[in-house]
């Protein structure tokens, strides 16, 4: 074939290719997006306006990295008898990592009612905050179980919940007191014909739960915080023949365990932290269970704050998980610091730290367990105090 004919053939081939429609580009590939749909990637730049749902998906793993960073930084204080040092380390890493996240985050539930100094306070603004970022309400507990870390006990986790910000009603209830009375349980109990009630006796509630779970009452396992205030509750549970699993701290893990399969836990009962009630409700919503709770003020000052913020009826109101965590855009993340009913704790082998985390989404009921390995010779985390990356 002559050179002229070759050139002519090439020109014809190029002309035969169909041009992409104006304003669009030819799709190069389709990839499963993990939530039932497909994401398309294009060979040419196309102007895309992501929806709130798209943004929710995009930041999900960034929230996971946040709890990982807080857990890893707090782990350095494991068993060293310094709860304030552990808490400060987790807060520093959580603030620093969220500061790099593409959100406009408004803290609705922080850990400001805790005794440790320098908490993440309600009203803080976290995230990059640039235009087009995910507008998020946040509920955070850098450590659930500060003393557990300090003393080296099991059950500590780093927690974060986020939901799309609603200008009229925040996604999370800002509870104006430190404690709430709670009963937490899984989807089988929630969907049953009989209903658990905070005013019912312990025996009546456990009989309902046993019926829904197709168990005998004496085969139930009940998680209760090991506190003097729970002596009567523990005695009443044992009178029914059910087993009591006492925990020192970390009642979010106890609440979640009641809604997860294969934990051996059937229900959480007792009075614990109010912020923990909100975080626990976020996880339980994702799992299809429920939590009943009511405010448990410990002083007249707390009662006055409750009435001012929520009205007189709030003092006797029974809240559900939906009352504490509104809507279905909730993303819940947790990373284990020390092992609990829900997650394994951090494990270090040679110079590699393994973390164990869970990410849940209420919209789809998706639950992802993620094990990550971190090379401690290279791993850095963003610290808010330094405004820079720091080696672990």
pLDDT at 315 over 90: yes
Question: Which token pair is 208?
Answer: 């309902």
Cα separation values, 119 from 17, 22, 88, 112, Å: 61, 53, 8, 5
pLDDT digits (tens, 9 = 90+) for 238-294: 999 999 999 999 999 999 999 999 999 999 999 999 999 999 999 999 999 999 999
Residue with tokens 């999370």: 172
47 is a domain residue: no
Judgement on whether residues 320 and 194 belong to the same structural domain of the protein:
yes
* CB burial of residue 315 (10 Å; 0-12, 13-18, 19+): middle
Judgement on whether residues 320 and 335 belong to the same structural domain of the protein:
no
Instruction: From 268, 246, 248, 275, select the one nearest 179 (Cα to Cα).
Output: 275
Least confident piece of the model among 2-6, 146-150, 310-314: 2-6
Q: How far apart are CA 311 and CA 15, in angstroms?
A: 73
- Identify which has the larger pLDDT, 241 or 26: 241
25 is a domain residue: no
Cβ-contact 75, 337 below 8 angstroms: yes
pLDDT digits (tens, 9 = 90+) for 200-247: 999 999 999 999 999 999 999 999 999 999 999 999 999 999 999 999
DSSP conformation letters of 43-81: SS-------HHHHHHHHHHHHHHHHHHHHHHHHTTTTSS
Q: Work out the mean pLDDT of the chain and round it to a whole number.
A: 88
Which of residues 301, 324, 347 is at a domain's end?
A: 324
* Number of folded domains that form the chain: 2
Which of residues 324, 348, 379 is at a domain's end?
A: 324
Residue 50: pLDDT band with limits 50, 70, 90: low
CATH number at residue 213: 3.40.190.90
Residue 36: pLDDT band with limits 50, 70, 90: very low
Q: How far apart are CA 94 and CA 194, in angstroms?
A: 41
222 is a domain residue: yes
CATH number at residue 140: 3.30.540.10
pLDDT recorded at residue 43: 44
Judgement on whether residues 188 and 318 belong to the same structural domain of the protein:
yes
Question: Which token pair is 68?
Answer: 């990982």
Percent of the chain with pLDDT over 70: 86
Range of the domain at 129: 52-170+331-339+367-391
Which of residues 324, 347, 375 is at a domain's end?
A: 324
pLDDT, mean of residues 146-174: 94
Residue 44: pLDDT band with limits 50, 70, 90: low
Judgement on whether residues 185 and 229 belong to the same structural domain of the protein:
yes
- The angle, 0 to 180 degrees and rounded to 10, between the axes of the packed helices 83-98 and 52-75 is 150
Judgement on whether residues 63 and 166 belong to the same structural domain of the protein:
yes
pLDDT recorded at residue 46: 55
357 is a domain residue: no
Residue 199: pLDDT band with limits 50, 70, 90: very high
Judgement on whether residues 298 and 186 belong to the same structural domain of the protein:
yes
146 is a domain residue: yes
Judgement on whether residues 268 and 217 belong to the same structural domain of the protein:
yes
pLDDT digits (tens, 9 = 90+) for 336-389: 999 999 999 999 999 999 999 999 999 999 999 999 999 999 999 999 999 999
Judgement on whether residues 65 and 160 belong to the same structural domain of the protein:
yes
Percent of the chain with pLDDT over 90: 79
- Identify which has the larger pLDDT, 321 or 10: 321
Judgement on whether residues 226 and 301 belong to the same structural domain of the protein:
yes
39 is a domain residue: no
Prediction pTM value? 0.85
Instruction: From 117, 115, 110, select the one nearest 176 (Cα to Cα).
Output: 110
194 is a domain residue: yes
Most confident option among 36-40, 189-193, 313-317: 313-317
pLDDT at 9 over 80: no
Alpha-helical regions (H) of 195-272? 202-213, 231-239, 251-259
pLDDT digits (tens, 9 = 90+) for 273-286: 999 999 999 999 99
Residue 146: pLDDT band with limits 50, 70, 90: very high
pLDDT, mean of residues 297-304: 95
SS3 (DSSP) at 101: coil
Judgement on whether residues 306 and 204 belong to the same structural domain of the protein:
yes
Judgement on whether residues 385 and 304 belong to the same structural domain of the protein:
no
351 is a domain residue: no
Instruction: From 123, 122, 55, 62, select the one nearest 96 (Cα to Cα).
Output: 62
Judgement on whether residues 240 and 161 belong to the same structural domain of the protein:
no
Number of residues assigned to the chain: 392
pLDDT recorded at residue 128: 92
């Amino acid at each position: 074939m002559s050179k002229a004919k070759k050139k002519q053939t090439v020109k014809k081939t190029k002309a035969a290719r169909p041009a992409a429609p104006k304003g669009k580009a030819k799709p190069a590939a389709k990839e499963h997006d993990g939530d039932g749909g497909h994401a398309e990637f294009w060979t040419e730049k196309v102007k895309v306006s992501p929806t709130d749902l798209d943004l929710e998906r995009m930041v999900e793993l960034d929230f996971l990295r946040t709890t990982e960073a807080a857990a890893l930084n707090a782990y350095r204080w494991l068993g060293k008898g310094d709860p304030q040092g552990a808490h400060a380390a987790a807060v520093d890493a959580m603030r620093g990592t969220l500061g790099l996240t593409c959100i406009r985050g408004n803290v609705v539930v922080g850990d400001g009612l805790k005794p440790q100094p320098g908490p993440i306070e309600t009203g803080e603004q976290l995230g990059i905050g640039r235009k087009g970022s995910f507008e998020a309400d946040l509920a955070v507990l850098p450590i659930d179980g500060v003393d557990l870390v300090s003393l080296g006990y099991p059950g500590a986790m780093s927690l974060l919940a986020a939901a799309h910000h609603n200008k009229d009603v925040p996604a999370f209830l800002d509870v104006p007191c430190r404690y709430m009375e709670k009963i937490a349980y899984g989807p089988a109990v929630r969907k049953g014909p009989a209903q658990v009630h905070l005013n019912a006796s312990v025996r009546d509630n456990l009989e309902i739960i046993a019926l829904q779970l197709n168990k005998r009452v004496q085969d139930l396992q009940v998680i209760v915080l090991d506190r003097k205030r729970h002596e009567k509750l523990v005695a009443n549970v044992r009178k029914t023949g059910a087993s009591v699993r006492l925990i020192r701290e970390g009642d979010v893990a106890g609440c979640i365990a009641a809604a997860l399969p294969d934990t051996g836990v059937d229900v959480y009962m007792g009075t614990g932290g109010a912020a923990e009630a909100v975080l626990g409700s976020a996880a339980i919503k994702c799992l299809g269970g429920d939590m009943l709770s009511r405010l448990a003020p410990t002083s007249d000052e707390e009662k006055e704050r409750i009435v001012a913020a929520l009205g007189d009826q709030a003092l006797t109101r029974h809240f559900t998980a939906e009352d504490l965590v509104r809507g279905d855009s909730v993303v819940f993340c947790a990373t284990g610091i020390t092992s609990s009913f829900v997650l394994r704790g951090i494990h270090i082998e040679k110079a590699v730290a393994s973390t164990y985390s869970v990410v849940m989404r209420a919209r789809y009921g998706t639950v992802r367990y993620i094990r990550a390995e971190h090379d401690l010779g290279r791993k850095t985390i963003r610290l808010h105090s330094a405004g820079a990356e720091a080696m672990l």
